[in-house]
Amino acid sequence: MTFRTNDLTPRIATEILSTKQALLSGRHAKTIRELLEARGVLVFPELHFTDEEQVAFTETLGTLAPEMAGETVYKVTLDTSANARADYLKGSWYWHIDGTMNEVPILASILSSKVLSPTGGQTDFCNTYASYDDLSDEDKQAYEQLRVMHSAWNTLFYYDPEPALNKVKEMMSIGDNELPLVWTHRSGRKSLVIGATAYQVAGKSYKESTELLVKLREWATLPQFCYRHEWKVGDMVIWDNTGTMHRATPYDPACGRMLHRTKLQGEETFA
């Protein structure tokens, strides 16, 4: 057998045991895509893909999405000598969805672990499909038509409560985006669109917005919806960015922690 699966929790995350050859052949790509949507997170333990192999594997699943500078592989690290924009990644310590500033968010991210942190540095995931499904009918009806403003600058205050004005302006230049609180996907499934970029619910005061968004974050990140990945060198993890939130647990920026990321181009707009 070159492809075996093991569910890691009842509601999110499945481990896939396979060989590099089988994964790079693309013959399991349809199954992997289906599992990704159904389970939110897929874990490939100690696979040890090279960058070239990771790019090739990503392309078996869909269209590779380039990074901002045009590179295909992005270094996820807080080491500024390896990533000049590493400080921006401190926002990744808080629950979020990638691409809330975009009309079409990325479909998925793929991370391979190269260097571990001695402490911290795990990655948490929560299933925003499952957390929506388990809401009461009354809450579903109340949230169905709500829209929420998102911004990158809102995440700045999570890790830098008193930022310099030029930093605030830099982050604000990225813009704001109004999104549905409940995303109705083409499949008919629904998920919550919340996280650190969300800051204002249309038609509600700032206080009311904050109470609702914190309430939903606490709900969506209850243990039954979550999976924490304890990295080993060589692990590869894929997550469905359209149906999960994620965060890294804090770690020492000087420790050298390094993961390499590729992304799958988005295939549907927030709706």
Question: Consecutive sets of 10 residues in the chain, 271 residues long: mean pLDDT of each?
Answer: 92 97 96 97 98 98 89 90 78 94 96 96 98 98 97 94 95 95 97 98 97 98 98 98 97 93 97 92
DSSP string, 192-256: E--STTEEEETTS-HHHHHHHHHHHHHHHTSGGGEEEE---TT-EEEEETTTEEEEEPP--GGG-
C-beta separation of 17 from 3 below 8 A = yes
Predicted pLDDT of residue 1: 61
- Kindly give, in sequence order, each residue whose CB lies less than 8 Å from that of residue 208, ignoring residues fewer than 6 positions away: 201
Tokens of 235: 């692990």
Predicted pLDDT of residue 90: 81
Domains of the chain as residue ranges with CATH: 3-264 (3.60.130.10)
C-beta separation of 153 from 87 below 8 A = no
User: Whole-angstrom Cα distance, residue 183 to residue 129?
Assistant: 9
Predicted pLDDT of residue 87: 75
Predicted pLDDT of residue 143: 98
